[in-house]
């Protein structure tokens, strides 16, 4: 049985075996139901074999065995408990919560080895099996492990991408003529061709990702869930190379899940948003959470009319009415990002607009840099990251000091947002551009989140959450916090920590840059900047000293 974690002493476990299988793209198709407080739908994952498998294994057997050794050292496996039809008197309360117990008249669909088929509709198993199923007649099946917590997984299946009309264009590559024409290999090769399309074909890539995600299933996959993971295998498949590259997971969230918060806004209207930080997004959708697992995504979210859906996306989504009373919102991201940076907020938000000021501000600020300063900064450079439609290589982005932005808030806070926040955003964006250059992201949404938000702000791709607490403090508190979160677009998002132990570096850069951004946004003199920075440095030193003197030693260790 998986070890229960102490939230004070233990680190958040990263269970995903990203060295062997790496998610390259997610497609989320979700329904948000405020009546039941459940988010339900599917996520389709498109994979490529991981770097460690390719490096360490010239044959699939060696790679799978090394993964077995690694994973089995990480956790102790127990025999998988199988629910017996109608009766389970010996199970503890904890075990019962996670078990699929067959009710009267239902059929026990688990096989003799304790593996769940999808007909059970419940996915909890209290223990984790070995990464390779040694008990299955001596075979060692490859086990895909995803980070997952507090989700009801209902079904896992391979997606028949080969059935998509027009997909045959991805089977004409010379690479495909030398492989077996078996259907399984064909499907995997199609996914490989799709995820490796050059950056300039990103629109075509997203189109076919969507079409593939809607293709029928071609076989259910065996799966088990633990406290922190979802484990998937296909009987007889022993290597990551042969494992299905397109997998659809049907699931729904649980009310106790800690990735999303169901609450009410400042007007008492229902809303839900991702907190992200406590356990990242593993209670929102099964994913790979190590920061090195970079992927793109698309998200279609349906909810009742009257609600606004905001997510991490490059496009400013407009709702589409699917049926009376139901709207659908679609977002996409083409920059590979960690799954933990995905954010969603659904509520009765109102867009704060002040058209006359916004248009004038953007016109005045956008081209405020002297030509000499502009010329010296924008010399041609070649990015060293993986290929994607990069703004740093986009000439049009080089003169965009203020990217398009929107502000959303409950209606009771709209006047404060219009008075303080709305006019600060172009000033802060322009100051960031003057300091660091091209904005990594093409647009920005700013949302005033509900009062139970536990921080002053949180930055995600294309969207910033701000606490209502920054609004009454005048322009200084609001401006410095906004500058801090804008700085995270460069440090924390475009450039991220290699692992979670280095996350403090991103915070350090953002804290340092917020003073520089804010000083430039205010257009302070040199002496005023120096005085302000010295005062803030003194206040920060005193706060750090007081925390060290008045906190237990174990709380001073950064994990």
Q: Side by side, which strands form the sheet with 405-409?
A: 350-352, 405-409, 444-448, 463-466, 457-460
The closest of 512, 419, 421 to 466, measured between CA atoms, is 421
CA 146/CA 23 separation, integer angstroms: 10
> What's the CA angle centered on 190, arms 184 and 192, to 5 degrees?
105
Q: Are 388 and 336 in contact (CB under 8 A)?
A: yes
- 421: tokens are 């926040």
Q: For residue 211, which phi and psi values (nearest 5 degrees)? A: -60, -40
Active site residue 485: yes
CA 72/CA 355 separation, integer angstroms: 60
By CB atoms closer than 10 A (0-12, 13-18, 19+), residue 359 is exposed
Can you give the length of the chain in residues? Answer: 559
The closest of 229, 251, 232 to 240, measured between CA atoms, is 232
- 529: tokens are 């900047």
Kindly name the residue from 231, 485, 534, 547 that is annotated as catalytic.
485
CA 445/CA 80 separation, integer angstroms: 46
CA 22/CA 220 separation, integer angstroms: 20
The closest of 529, 470, 461 to 492, measured between CA atoms, is 461
Strand partners, 329: 301
Q: Which residues contact 23 (CB under 8 A, 6 or more apart)?
A: 45, 46, 47, 287, 288, 293, 295, 339
The closest of 161, 315, 322, 352 to 245, measured between CA atoms, is 161
CA 161/CA 193 separation, integer angstroms: 12
The closest of 252, 282, 254 to 16, measured between CA atoms, is 282
CA 9/CA 36 separation, integer angstroms: 34
Q: Are 29 and 300 in contact (CB under 8 A)?
A: yes
- 4: tokens are 């229960």
**Which residues form the catalytic set?**
485
């Amino acid at each position: 049985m998986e070890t229960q974690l102490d939230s004070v002493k233990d680190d958040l476990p990263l269970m995903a075996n990203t060295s062997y299988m790496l998610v390259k793209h997610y497609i989320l198709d979700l329904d948000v139901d405020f009546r039941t407080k459940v988010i339900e739908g599917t996520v389709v994952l498109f994979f490529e074999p991981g770097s460690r498998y390719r490096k360490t294994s010239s044959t699939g057997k060696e790679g799978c065995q090394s993964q077995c050794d690694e994973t089995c050292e990480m956790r102790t496996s127990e025999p998988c408990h199988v629910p017996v039809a109608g009766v389970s008197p010996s199970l503890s309360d904890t075990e019962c919560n996670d078990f699929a117990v067959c009710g009267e008249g239902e059929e026990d669909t688990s096989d003799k080895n304790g593996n769940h088929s999808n007909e059970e509709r419940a996915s909890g198993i209290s223990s984790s099996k070995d990464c390779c199923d040694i008990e299955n007649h001596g075979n060692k099946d490859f086990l895909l492990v995803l980070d997952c917590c507090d989700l009801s997984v209902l079904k896992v299946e391979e997606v028949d991408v080969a059935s998509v009309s027009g997909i045959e264009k991805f089977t004409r590559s010379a690479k495909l003529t030398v492989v077996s024409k078996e259907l399984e290999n064909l499907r995997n090769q199609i996914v490989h061709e799709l995820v490796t399309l050059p950056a300039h074909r990103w629109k075509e890539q997203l189109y076919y990702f969507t079409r593939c995600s809607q293709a029928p299933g071609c076989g259910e996959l065996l799966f088990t869930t633990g406290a922190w993971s979802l484990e998937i295998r296909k009987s007889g498949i022993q290597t990551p190379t042969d494992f299905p590259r397109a997998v659809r997971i049907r699931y729904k969230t649980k009310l106790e899940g800690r990735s999303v918060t169901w609450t009410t806004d400042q007007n008492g209207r229902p809303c839900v948003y991702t907190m992200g930080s406590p356990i990242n997004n593993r209670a929102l959708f099964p994913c790979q959470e190590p920061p090195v697992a970079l992927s793109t995504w698309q998200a279609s979210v349906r909810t009742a009319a009257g609600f606004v859906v905001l997510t991490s996306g490059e496009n400013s989504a407009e709702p589409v009415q699917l049926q009376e009373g139901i709207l659908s919102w679609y977002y996409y991201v083409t920059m590979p990002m960690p799954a933990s940076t995905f954010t969603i907020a659904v509520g009765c938000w109102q867009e704060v607009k002040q058209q006359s000021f916004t248009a004038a501000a953007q016109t005045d600020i956008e081209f405020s840099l002297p030509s000499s300063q502009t010329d010296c900064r924008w010399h041609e450079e070649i990015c060293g990251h993986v290929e994607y439609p990069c703004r740093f290589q986009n000439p049009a982005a080089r003169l965009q000091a203020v990217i398009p932005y929107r502000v959303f808030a409950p209606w009771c806070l709209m006047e404060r947002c219009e008075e303080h926040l709305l006019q600060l955003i172009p000033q802060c964006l322009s100051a960031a551009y003057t300091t660091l250059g091209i904005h990594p992201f093409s647009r920005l949404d700013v949302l005033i989140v509900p009062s139970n938000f536990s921080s002053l702000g949180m930055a995600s791709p294309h969207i910033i959450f701000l606490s209502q607490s920054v609004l009454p403090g005048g322009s200084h508190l609001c401006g410095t916090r906004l500058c801090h979160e804008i700085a995270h677009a460069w440090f924390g998002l475009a450039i991220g920590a290699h692992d979670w132990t280095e996350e403090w570096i991103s915070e350090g850069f953002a804290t340092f840059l917020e003073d520089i951004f804010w000083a430039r946004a205010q257009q302070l003199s040199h002496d005023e900047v120096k005085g302000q920075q010295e005062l803030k440095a003194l206040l920060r030193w005193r706060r750090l000293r007081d925390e060290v003197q008045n906190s237990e030693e174990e709380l001073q260790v950064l994990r």
